[in-house]
Structure 1
Amino acid sequence: MGLNGVYITLELAEGLCAKRIDSMIADVASKDIFSKLDEVDLKLRMKAKTHGHCTIKYMPAQSSVNDIRAYCKELEVKTGRKIDFLCVDYLDLIMPSGVKVSAENVFIKDKFVSEELRNLSKELNVLFVTASQLGRSAQDEIEFDHSHIAGGLSKIMTADNVFAIYTSRSMRERGKYQLQLLKTRNSGGVGSKIDLDYNPETLRIFDSSDGGEQPQRQSAPQPSGNDIMSRIKTASKIVEPEELSPLQKIKVDVKGSQLKALLGELKGN
């Protein structure tokens, strides 16, 4: 029946997050959500029959990992549904719960938060996804590396997989995004790039349609000799010459005699 998950937002309101997710699932532009409310509701109900549940929860910035842990366990008890994935938006707004760290020491703060979130994902046995901002040095860059992530290597060392999302003005106009693999713990994909398509109306990113194998055209069967002869026979028609009228014969004879006289005069001269 699909996966059940929790989306923790520490920045946007729950209603705005729900609107964006509904737009992606229903494939309806965000600006048309309320004008096409019945259509969106029908599509979401149809999806719910074969998919799991996603719960959106707003928490204030500077919340701790213990707050997230308490909410997830309370939700499992109330609904009776096991959480399969957890998404936190986003890591930079969380404070560590096990130790007091100065907000100015970003490296140490992110190190403790990353480790606590990883421990939480292991404790709940869920797929965990979060995000982080890039530093100022990455604004004019085309290819990213570990130094461009705000907070430094403390997040990179704890994560299993790290993806950087790149786009430019020209790419957005063409509806393109790019994933750059900065770290993959269990594969050799570091340095790889994945091109994706982007719908600016629904804010949905999906597999790119470019670069795929073009379907091979099937060549038409060659006609045999008998087929060619039969086509020639059916298409060819013998046209009988039309019988000239007496008037047309007289005109032809007159023009012919005049031509002979003209040629004789030329020879005489």
Structure 2
Amino acid sequence: MNRKKYRYPSVLTIAGFDGSGGAGIQGDIKTISALGCYATSALTALPIQNTQGVRTIYPIPYQAVNEQIETILDDIFPDAIKIGMVHTAELVSTILDALARYPHVPVVFDPVMVATSGDKLIEDKTIAAIVERLFPIAAVVTPNMDEAAILAEMPVRTLDDMRLAGAKIRQLGCRSVLLKGGHLDAPRLTSLYFDEAGDVHEFSFDRFETNNTHGSGCTLSSAIACFIAQGRNLLEAVGAGQEYVHQAILHSRDVQVGHGNGPLNHFFNPLELKKYDLV
């Protein structure tokens, strides 16, 4: 008698390295694992960083990036893809070429341009390539306020600024935009989700004091990809992803890891790997 076989919902993260463990591929793998999905990865860059900031960034050969992605796609096909650090126009082309055969896999793109520490992580000439080529394949793009200011070419300091900037970014060609409000100077932090129909949805959480937000953007985009991989629609995935990040920060707020912006507690409520029938 043959035993019934199953599969795990799989999420591929295409992102940079973080030796301090809170952001980048390390943060993504923690998030994906904590939410009951199976994590695969392709490394795009080797930043030298800790909780206090980025010291330098070493490139990964483009051919190596291409081969990493193709090798994973040939064997462990993902239910969703998260794309993080893409710091050159050539890397944009490399990723697009590798994904070209798989246009129907949902992509969550976190346009990593500015680190939590304030360090700029992207070359100026790369922005046009990202907008022109990566935005059209993304189900949702997740800029923070600093990144939204770059993309919308305007100051983004208030909720009204966010509304205007989010609408501008959505017009650049992506299906939907989650503009994260973690840098708002307000007692409640509000993020805005601009959906495929052009409707705007607000998600608000009470502010609390903590330095442990390193990797929050990476974690959020990976969480959204996980919930998409598990079959939720975009609005549900965005809402569930934000609740997960809020709780992960809340459960880490009194812990000290390093001397700068510490990591989230990704495993505050870890889930077992989900099993789906193998079709």
TM-score of the pair, normalised by structure 1: 0.43
Compare relative contact order (CA 8 Å, sep 6+) and give the higher one, 1 or 2.
Answer: 2
TM-score of the pair, normalised by structure 2: 0.42
Structure of greater Rg: 1
Identify the structure with the greater helix proportion.
1
